[in-house]
Amino acid sequence: MNDRRERRFENLMDATGEGTKSGALDVAADYYLKMSGDNPAVPNGAVPDLMKQAVEKGSLTPNEIVDILYTDELPVEYSHEWSTGRGE
């Protein structure tokens, strides 16, 4: 295995929190299938759903995007904070 590929696997293991290459690949594959859709496991993926809703509504709120893109493999959260005045 070349260095570039080895680094990719190490980065994937870090990103997924998996201790093995095979575990990291399983998590990444599950995530990809859920995002892309158009496969027997997940006919309707999150990315096509996101695009469809954006076209239908014209825009989406961050919370709506979170609801569409959230998966167990890569939880997505949104928080927003703002203040006026001195912000003490």
For tokens 């995002």, the residue is 35
What is the band of 88 on the pLDDT scale with cuts at 50, 70, 90?
Answer: low
> What are the φ/ψ torsions at residue 45 (nearest 5 degrees)?
-80, 165
pLDDT digits (tens, 9 = 90+) for 57-81: 999 999 999 999 999 999 999 999 9
Sign of torsion over alpha carbons 11, 14, 15, 16? positive
Dist. CA 18–CA 28, nearest whole Å? 10
Q: Read off the pLDDT of residues 14-52 as tens digits, 9 standing for 90 and up.
A: 999 999 999 999 999 999 999 999 999 899 999 999 999
Please report where in the chains the tokens 């998966």 appear, as a residue: 71
